[in-house]
Structure 1
């Protein structure tokens, strides 16, 4: 019976989750109030949500955008952040498909897959938009209004079409840029599956700057890689904010590395 239960839960179940007992909650920690983070957590991957939560807790961002996020995984990550690290986050989901192969569940009720935003402050006015053409897999963006530092800001989180689908990504960024342009203060997080000088990112660069001041949409820019294959695909784009410091933290728990930046509103 236990084996059947684990088979039905599928690959999204965190390591040890079925056997986790009651634990004493640690003292509540403070997040870094002006820190934002993006991370493609990789799915399907045989990774423990305990480890994913520990990676997030090490940076303790006020806001984090996750891509390739299964709802069940995010639920466990939130629990571990609260119960093991004393960090309490609100959550909004931007799921774009239901797929057993990605997120487990049951064949007749597969888990939801897409984006998620965790925020220490409450969020309002959430939207979830699926791109008209996702490419080889459904893709989209989500947006919420929350607080970074002491400023209200519109936060976007997206995952663009996979590599070698440049024309699809170009259409997706046109949809995204039109919405970002409506806001004087915005933070755009995500896995864009494109290096900085890719033509499909031109519209985004026209609206916002990268959290890394040395990274530009030209071959002369010095952009720190964010993936195991030494490409920069992950971004924190800022509109109405100035970057103070940033860090890419290599991790064994995903093929993308967590990227966080501290910001100051202009």
Structure 2
């Protein structure tokens, strides 16, 4: 059950009060719960999807990450550079502090103690995750044959957006200056996306809109920003601190209604969310 705005505020206030009584519990020794802005979404927005590279290793607070997500309360969130432990905490905070209940599926591509903690014989898992307010089915986790300088992959689930079933993909392509590797990765991803008449592809593609390696994605789907096309790159809103558009919500058989890009102090990538017409 999703709580209304007043109940969510009361729940957050009670949690803060309890934290004051029992003391801090964050690894850094303090847990600060930020109140949501007055214009925050009151409930999960059923036709809203979001993509966010949460930055790792950045040592940011999962409480703050949860507050950023709760402000916009999307139906579906695709996270990149995510550790399982971080996603678990973010999901717990969304529920306990803001009354937002999400299911989760993972697309982990490597075990990395340096990024995700753990012990040498059991390091944390690193990759992608999808959180959805509706249950997810038919999860797929694919590691690209060539990840480049670091393992990369995509995941896919079927879930509900705007009351309609849709296939949702989440990916993170190879780092910059690896154009040929990204082109191969897009080929793998695009072949799977092409099998679906209705698909939403979220992710950090590490490439600007007119990069040649994205050509196969543009042939299949449009970005949620109707002004952003390879030939119109000057009109594409940046999604990173270095003023490049690397983050996309590609749509196939789904109509965009409104999108927003939100810079955040908690990652070098901005939050990108969009409201959709899935009918």
Shared topology, TM-score over 0.5? yes
Give the C-alpha shift of residue 110 in structure 1. 0.6
Q: Which runs of 4+ in 1 moved over 3 A?
A: 17-21
Q: Residues 2-28 of structure 1: CA distance to partner in whole angstroms, max 9, x if unpaired?
A: xxxxxxxxxxxxx8158789x9xxxxx
Report the TM-score, using the length of structure 1 for normalisation.
Answer: 0.90
Bigger helix share: 2
Aligned to 2:132: 119
The number of aligned residues is 247
Q: Residues 128-187 of structure 1: CA distance to partner in whole angstroms, max 9, x if unpaired?
A: 000000000000000000000111000000000000000000000000000000000000
1:186–1:239 contact (8 Å) kept in structure 2: yes
Report the TM-score, using the length of structure 2 for normalisation.
Answer: 0.86
Residue 225 of structure 2 corresponds to residue 212 of structure 1: yes
2:209–2:233 contact (8 Å) kept in structure 1: no
Which of 258, 261, 264 aligns to 2:271? It is 258
For residue 16 of structure 1, give the secondary structure of its aligned residue in structure 2: coil
Which of 49, 52, 68 aligns to 1:55? It is 68
Q: Distance in 2 between matches of 1:123 and 1:219?
A: 35
Give the C-alpha shift of residue 30 in structure 1. 2.5
Give the C-alpha shift of residue 113 in structure 1. 0.1
Residue 91 of structure 2 corresponds to residue 78 of structure 1: yes
Residue 26 of structure 2 corresponds to residue 16 of structure 1: yes
Which ranges of structure 1 fall in alignment gaps of 5 or more residues? 1-14, 24-28
Aligned to 1:149: 162
Q: Calculate the aligned-residue CA RMSD, in Å.
A: 1.8
For residue 76 of structure 1, give the secondary structure of its aligned residue in structure 2: helix
Residue 103 of structure 2 corresponds to residue 90 of structure 1: yes
Q: Distance in 2 between matches of 1:199 and 1:169?
A: 10
Residue 58 of structure 2 corresponds to residue 45 of structure 1: yes
Which of 200, 203, 207 aligns to 1:190? It is 203
Give the C-alpha shift of residue 67 in structure 1. 0.1
Which ranges of structure 2 fall in alignment gaps of 5 or more residues? 1-24, 34-41
Aligned to 2:18: none
Aligned to 2:14: none
